[in-house]
Structure 1
Amino acid sequence: MARKRQDDPPKGSPAWMNTFSDLMNLLLCFFVLLFSMSTVDADKYDQMIASLNKSFSIFSGGGSAIGEGQLISSGVSQLNELTDLVSELGREEGEDDLTEDDNPMKYLEEQRRELSEQMYDEILELTEKYNIDKKVDVNIDGNNQYIKLSIGGSILFDSGSEDIKQEALPILNKVGDILKEYSDCLIKIEGHTDNVPMSSNIKFADNMDLSTARAVSLWKYLTEKKGLDPSTLEASGRSEFDPIASNATPEGRAKNRRVEIKIYNELSR
């Protein structure tokens, strides 16, 4: 009796389905990864996305990019540098101290303020040490650019003259010793007068000439007698155009007749 021919065993799935299954598994893992990322702390995650958008402009939707599916639609290539981006932004909370990279101008201003305050304290201490603090006023510039030493005109000069009084030389010598401590800084010497017009004075045509001559007299004395570097000293006259008091009273006019020595800090040159 002839044997009955057995039926062929059922064929398995087509070969392409194996590849398709692997692809589906990978996609599932990928979406699970995205889902796990979307469950982090909301506040911190929004901050991170906003920072990424601000720094690199890769998420058009800012902190809501993943929630709205824009990350997926814009392509998986955006994930390539995610680790680097997170590392760049991975500073601890509260780590927002002022640095040079954060705001260079603000950092420079802060450094200049600290330097000016240090110079002010040092110069004030020196005037007290040399016992000239009653004759020389010390002030700090409101913009933290320089320290100003102000000496009354009547202490240094006779009326209408640019010649330094002999009795003023001890004070000026001590001022020169202070300036030597800041020989690397720019130093400006300014002469000031009141607004009273010059009387019959053959030597000076007006207050501008007088104030300039007085500033130059101090410049010469400090460079020739005290050995200060002429390249770091400037002399100029301001006449009546920068008063510190009212010229309507004798007291105010006396305050306006003065010589100012401005010591600029290293960050203001």
Structure 2
Amino acid sequence: MAKKHKCPPAGAPDWMVTFSDMTTLLLCFFVLIIAFSEIKKEDEFQAVVEEVKKAFGMKGGGGRLPTNDDPELTLIQRLEALNLQRQKMENESNTEDPGIEGKERETTVIRPGMLIVLGGPITFEHGSANLTQKAKEQLDFIATQTRGNNNLIEIAGHAASMESRDLPARFTTLWDLSYARANATLDYLTSDKVALNPNRFRLISNADREPVVRRLYSPDQQAPNRRVIVRVSESIVRDYTQPIALGH
């Protein structure tokens, strides 16, 4: 008579359950890696961070990672962050090789360092370089952000392409118009009311070379192009004796 074999207990063995759990966790790990590699925008990354924190039961603040253009950061904090980035790049580029010595030992900084936009674009009426009341209020805010510092301030004037059709007589080209807008901004920021140091400023005329909106054919649609942008540099003004004016 054949000997009866004892039946194994029902269900999967213990080692298989543990192995399945480990495999599932590894799969989730690689899915997260792929997901992170596909995220290009800061907001999307922050959303993923929040979901991961919820999944692991983490509470409290800190879900948002600060960036250099975070509006909650003060001007000083943003400049310090840019300075750390610059120092890091300088350290990475340092080498023991002294290189070839040229005839001139002195160097000149042609372009200022990293720039931070202050206060958003300041817009103008069609064909005009006159500051509106709203523009003056924006400039008052910008002045409070930069007063007490000695960083170089860049004012970039822009024009819309349509403005070339009916330029006022005092403007020959869009270069003149965009420069006049930058200069009007400088005049206000260095006026007795605001009283910023004029030696801190650099003016740039861009004409219509850097439009915000393209292929729009009415003055209202092109309004964002009629603007001035105020940026502060990490560079410190030491040797400038008067405002610098440049065509871009």
Q: TM-score under structure 2 normalisation?
A: 0.46
Q: Which has the higher contact order (CA 8 A, sep 6+)?
A: 2
In our comparison, the structure showing a higher alpha carbon Rg is: 1
Q: TM-score under structure 1 normalisation?
A: 0.43
Structure with greater helix share of residues: 1
